[in-house]
Amino acid sequence: MGKDKSEKSGYQLKVPKGTKDWDGKDMIIRDKIFSTIKEVFKTYGAVTIDTPVFELREILAGKYGEDSKLIYDLADQGGELCSLRYDLTVPFARWLAMNSNIKEIKRYQLDKVYRRDQPAMTKGRMREFYQCDFDIAGTYDPMLPDAECMSITCEIFERLGWQGKYTIKINHRKILDGIFQVCGVPEEKIRTISSAVDKLDKSPWADVRKEMVEEKGLAEDVADRIGEYVVLKGGVDLLERLQKDERLSTNESAKAGLADMDLLFKYLKIDGVLDKVSFDMSLARGLDYYTGVIYEVVTEGSAPQSASTDAAPEKKDAKPKKRSTNSSTATDADEDRSNDPSVGVGSIAAGGRYDNLVSMFSGKQQIPCVGISFGIERIFSLTKARLAATASTTTSSQRTNETDVYVMSVGGNGLLAERKKIVRRLRQAGIKSETAFKEKPRFDKQFKDMERTGVPFALILGEDELKVGKCKIKRNGAPEGDPEKEGVVIALEGLESEVARRIGDWYREQEVAETAGKLDLVRTGFA
C-alpha cells in the first residue's frame, strides 16, 4: 500500500494507523475463511445478530478493567456519549439483557472491533480488527454447551485445513481459585495473582514468582506452593492426579471445577476431540468475567521465535491488548526481530464461560453463557503464509475476480451489440461473464485482458459464425491436444447450458487436483 503525499492538498494519503484496506488476493482468502467459519456455525444451529459499531459509553464502562483506556470514544458532538465496541461479547450480553424474552440462543457474530493499542501489523495485531464469536447462552445440563464450543473449534480448524496442527489449552477458573486458596493466597489477592500466572506463557516461573513475591507481596512459601501446581499440564492423567490431591479435595471451588472437567473430558471423548485438548494449569486468561472453563487455541507458529522452554505462545489473548508494562523488553525485541508473519501471532482463538455478565446489564435475570472468539487476522496471516509456501507447486493462475467467461469478438466491427446480448444471456443464467467496454476492441487486446485477469474461458464471436448460429469457446491454459485449447465451435442456441457444463467440468477437474482438507480457493482463483 503506497503512501503518497498528495500534491494538491499536502496531507498524507493513508489509512489511520493500525487499520488497513482489504483487497485483492487477501480479500479472497479472507472471504473464504469467513464463509468456511460461518457455514460451520450454521451447521451447529447458530444464528447471527448484528449490533451497532458504537455503543452508549456507559454500556462499555466497567467491563474491561484497566484495558478500558484502549476504548475509542466518539467526539461529543451533542447528544449521547458513545464509544466504538471493544469486543463482541459485551454487546451480545447487552442484547440478551434487552431481549429478555430470549432465554436460550446460539449466536455467532463476525465483525470489526476497535482498540487503541500499539499495532503490530505483520502479526495481525491491529487497531481495527475482526473478531468472530460463537456463544451459547442459556441454562442447560452442565458442560454440554462447553463441550460443543470445543467441538466446533476443532471442526472449524479442520475445515480451514489445519489438519490437526492445533491444540486447545484448557483450564477452569474454579480449579485455579481453589489452588490459590489451598496454597494460602489471601482472598483479595486472588485476581492479581491469577494475572501473574497468566504471564507464564511468555515468562519463566522464576520471573512470575518474583512478581508475586516482590510486586504483589505474596509470601514466598505460598508462591512456591502455587509453583508446584501451575507447571502441570496433561490430559485425563492430570485430572486424575488433581482429583487425588489431598489439599484440593477439601476445597469446594476446586472440587466443583474438577467435577466440571471430569464431565467435559467425558463429552470430549464422545465427540472425538479429546486428543486436541491440553489441560494446562498455567492458563489463567486475562478477562475478569470468566467464571468456569477457559481455553485458548494455539498452533505451530503461535509461539514466539525465541520461545520459553514450554513453547507456550507469546501472547495469550486472541485479541490484541496493551502490552503489560511488566513484559520484558527482550520479548518485545524478539517480536520485532521476526519478519515472519507465521511466528509469534499468539493464540488463534480463545474463550470461556461467563455466567454473570448478562446480569450486569439486566440487574435481574442471569443468563449463563459460554463462548469462543476466533482471531481472524491471525488465522488469516497463518493461512496466507501456508498458501504462499505451497503456491509454487500449484497452478500459476492469477485470477483477480470470479469471472468465468470473457466474451470477445474477432474482426473489425467489434460486434458490440452481439457481445452485449450474449453477456446478458450468460449473466441471466448466473454465469459470471464480461466483455470489453469498447466498441471495437482489438482481438489481441481482448486476449491480453483475459489473461491478465485470469478468466478461464473465452467465448469468441465472429461475423461468419454468428450468421450460422455458432460461436467458439476456448479455455485459457488448456493443455496441448485438448480441443478447448484450439477452440470448440458451439451453437448459440442453448449456449447457456453448454457453457455452464464446460465451466462445471473444469471446476471439478481443478478440485480433484486440490489436496483434501484445503480451503476451496480454486473457484475464487487463489490456487
**Residue 170 vs residues 278, 438, 513: alpha-carbon distances, Å:** 6, 60, 38
516 binds a second copy (CB under 8 A): no
**What does the alpha-carbon distance between residue 37 and residue 19 come to, in Å, rounded to a whole number?**
23
80 binds a second copy (CB under 8 A): yes
Q: Residue holding cell 488497513?
A: 20
Span near a second copy by CB under 8 A; candidates 76-84, 334-342, 344-352, 497-505: 76-84
421 binds a second copy (CB under 8 A): yes
**What does the alpha-carbon distance between residue 420 and residue 408 come to, in Å, rounded to a whole number?**
10
**What does the alpha-carbon distance between residue 36 and residue 28 come to, in Å, rounded to a whole number?**
12
Of the candidate residues 225, 323, 438, 470, the single one contacting a second copy (CB under 8 A): 438
Strands 293-299 and 369-375: unpaired
Of the candidate residues 90, 408, 431, 527, the single one contacting a second copy (CB under 8 A): 431
Q: Which of residues 51 and 249 has its CB atom nearest to a second copy in the complex?
A: 51
67 binds a second copy (CB under 8 A): no
DSSP 403-416: --EEEEE-STTTTH
Q: Which of residues 13 and 391 has its CB atom nearest to a second copy in the complex?
A: 13
- What residues have CB less than 8 Å from 198, skipping those under 6 apart? 283, 284, 285, 286, 316
Best CA proximity match to 156, nearest among 519, 521, 522: 519
Of the candidate residues 390, 401, 497, 515, the single one contacting a second copy (CB under 8 A): 401
**Residue 126 vs residues 112, 274, 319, 367, 442: alpha-carbon distances, Å:** 11, 33, 9, 32, 46
Residues 302-361 that bind a second copy (CB under 8 A): 359-361
- What residues have CB less than 8 Å from 478, skipping those under 6 apart? 484, 485
100 binds a second copy (CB under 8 A): yes
366 binds a second copy (CB under 8 A): no
Any known ligand binding at 87? Answer: yes
- # residues contacting a second copy (CB under 8 A): 100
Span near a second copy by CB under 8 A; candidates 218-226, 374-382, 430-438, 478-486: 430-438
Q: Residue holding cell 483479595?
A: 188
**What does the alpha-carbon distance between residue 194 and residue 205 come to, in Å, rounded to a whole number?**
13
Cβ of residue 53: shortest distance to a second copy, in angstroms? 6
Please answer whether residues 417 and 473 qualify as being in contact, where contact means their C-beta atoms are separated by less than 8 angstroms: no
144 binds a second copy (CB under 8 A): yes
Cβ of residue 524: shortest distance to a second copy, in angstroms? 10
15 binds a second copy (CB under 8 A): yes
**What does the alpha-carbon distance between residue 378 and residue 348 come to, in Å, rounded to a whole number?**
6
Cβ of residue 128: shortest distance to a second copy, in angstroms? 5
Residues 18-57 that bind a second copy (CB under 8 A): 19-24, 27, 31, 39, 42-56
Of the candidate residues 65, 66, 68, 73, the single one contacting a second copy (CB under 8 A): 73
Any known ligand binding at 135? Answer: yes
Any known ligand binding at 110? Answer: no
Residues 239-278 that bind a second copy (CB under 8 A): 267, 270-272
Q: How many CB atoms lie within 10 A of CB 398?
A: 12
The sign of the dihedral angle between the CA atoms of 79, 80, 83, 89 is negative
Question: Angle at which helices 173-183 and 252-270 pack, to 10 degrees?
Answer: 150
445 binds a second copy (CB under 8 A): no
417 binds a second copy (CB under 8 A): yes
Per-residue cell: 512:
480433484
DSSP 267-306: HHHHTT-GGGEEEETT---S-TT--SEEEEEEETT-S-TT
Q: How many CB atoms lie within 10 A of CB 141?
A: 7
Of the candidate residues 237, 325, 330, 363, the single one contacting a second copy (CB under 8 A): 363
Q: Residue holding cell 502455587?
A: 226
- The DSSP code for 79 is S
Q: Which of residues 183 and 273 has its CB atom nearest to a second copy in the complex?
A: 273
Q: Which phi and psi angles does 335 have, rounded to 5°?
A: -65, -45
**What does the alpha-carbon distance between residue 196 and residue 226 come to, in Å, rounded to a whole number?**
11
Any known ligand binding at 96? Answer: no
DSSP 214-234: IIT---HHHHHHHHHHHT-EE
148 binds a second copy (CB under 8 A): yes
Q: Which of residues 1 and 330 has its CB atom nearest to a second copy in the complex?
A: 1
Cβ of residue 281: shortest distance to a second copy, in angstroms? 27
408 binds a second copy (CB under 8 A): no
**What does the alpha-carbon distance between residue 32 and residue 399 come to, in Å, rounded to a whole number?**
15
115 binds a second copy (CB under 8 A): no
Of the candidate residues 103, 424, 445, 508, the single one contacting a second copy (CB under 8 A): 424
151 binds a second copy (CB under 8 A): yes
457 binds a second copy (CB under 8 A): no
Of the candidate residues 79, 479, 481, 494, the single one contacting a second copy (CB under 8 A): 79
Any known ligand binding at 285? Answer: yes
Q: Which of residues 181 and 446 has its CB atom nearest to a second copy in the complex?
A: 446
Cβ of residue 41: shortest distance to a second copy, in angstroms? 10
Cβ of residue 441: shortest distance to a second copy, in angstroms? 9
Q: Binding site for L-histidine, residues?
A: 87-89, 115, 131, 135, 285, 289-290
Q: Binding site, residues?
A: 87-89, 115, 131, 135, 285, 289-290
